[in-house]
């Protein structure tokens, strides 16, 4: 039995490709014809299409008018001794309570009234990934954001104080911060004692006269070295005092921006979605009417 030649294989492949392209062309032609017919049907029924589209726009406007306007802003805070995961849990707790409309507990946590708590639409923890804390930094956590949506744009200032107080009142957070403050205070007190001792030795070295000049208890005194030690200790003391002054559970880096224009709901988006919904409804209604019309014609032709 003769094997088919390569030429015959190529001819077969070419025929198969032609069939595929022919079918694709036929499919696109049918699609274009149906699309053209749909356009003509919509144009023929344009009053109905326009009416249902306007009804959709009206529904979109009604939905928009029933929603309360809200304003979104964010606050950036930097923790000191507390890891970010714990703050995230605190914010997520508020988020769950607000979603549950449990404004009594929200008000209790934030030390505000239930009426003020009802002005909060949502809170969200946002990690700032590009900010990294250096290994030798005094901070254990890194800055993060809290995105807030409020129904009252005048309430961002009071809510900022309530949110920072909410973090500071956490028992674990406050104990950790207090322990660090006590540790720094003890180190500062010890440095002050050491500096006072060195100052006494410097004064003693200046007052010494005679053959014992420059010696205390048989040990030589170097005034230059004493001054260097005193300056180094004083610099360390100043750094620790600055750290102690800035040591808080959280510090506000960037506060909430007071907004004049609402974030949502978006007026144009609601009208657009309403128009699209009305147009799609009109399309299906027109197709349904045309289908019934064609069935009636077919029955009449059969009779």
User: What is the structure's pLDDT at 247?
Assistant: 64
The three state secondary structure string of 141-186 is CCCEEEEEEECCCCCHHHHHHHHHHHHHCCHHHHHHHHHHHHHHHH
Parse the chain into domains and list their residue ranges: 67-170+250-254, 180-246
Tokens matching residue 114: 């239930």
- Distance between CA atoms of residues 46 and 6, nearest Å: 60
Q: What is the CATH number of domain 67-170+250-254?
A: 3.30.70
User: What is the structure's pLDDT at 63?
Assistant: 95
- Distance between CA atoms of residues 38 and 70, nearest Å: 41
pTM, 2 dp: 0.64
Average pLDDT, the chain: 81
pLDDT > 80? residue 85: yes
- Residues 159-191 have pLDDT tens digits of 999 999 999 888 777 777 777 777 778 887 887
- Residues 266-286 have pLDDT tens digits of 999 999 999 999 999 999 998
Which strand (E) or helix (H) includes residue 74?
Answer: strand 71-79
pLDDT > 80? residue 6: no
Lowest mean pLDDT of 96-100, 113-117, 235-239, 240-244, name the range.
240-244
């Amino acid at each position: 039995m003769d094997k088919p030649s390569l030429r015959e294989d190529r001819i077969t492949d070419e025929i198969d490709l032609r069939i595929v392209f022919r079918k694709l062309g036929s499919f696109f032609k049918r699609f274009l014809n149906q699309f053209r017919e749909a356009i003509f049907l919509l144009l023929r029924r344009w009053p109905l299409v326009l009416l249902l589209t306007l009804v959709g726009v009206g529904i979109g406007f009604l939905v928009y008018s029933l929603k309360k306007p809200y304003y979104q802003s964010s606050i950036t805070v930097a923790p000191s001794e507390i890891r970010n995961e714990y703050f995230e849990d605190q914010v997520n707790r508020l988020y769950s309570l607000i979603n549950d409309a449990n404004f009594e507990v929200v008000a209790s946590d934030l030390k505000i009234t239930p009426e003020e708590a009802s002005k909060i639409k949502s809170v969200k923890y946002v990690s700032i990934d590009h900010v990294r804390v250096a290994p030798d930094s005094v901070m254990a956590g890194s800055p993060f954001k809290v995105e807030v949506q409020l129904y009252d744009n005048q309430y961002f200032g009071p809510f900022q104080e309530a949110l920072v107080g909410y973090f500071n009142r956490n028992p674990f957070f406050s104990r950790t911060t207090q322990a660090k403050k006590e540790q720094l205070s003890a180190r500062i007190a010890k440095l002050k004692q050491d500096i006072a001792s060195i100052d006494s030795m410097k004064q003693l070295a200046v007052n010494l006269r005679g053959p014992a000049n420059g010696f205390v208890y048989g040990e030589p005194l170097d005034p230059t070295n004493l001054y260097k030690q005193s300056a180094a200790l004083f610099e360390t003391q100043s750094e620790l005092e600055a750290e102690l002054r800035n040591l808080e559970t959280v510090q506000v880096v960037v506060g909430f921006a007071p907004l004049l224009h609402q974030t949502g709901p978006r007026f144009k988006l609601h009208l657009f979605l309403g128009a699209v919904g009305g147009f799609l409804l009109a399309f299906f209604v027109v197709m349904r009417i045309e289908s019934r019309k064609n069935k009636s014609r077919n029955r009449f032709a059969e009779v």
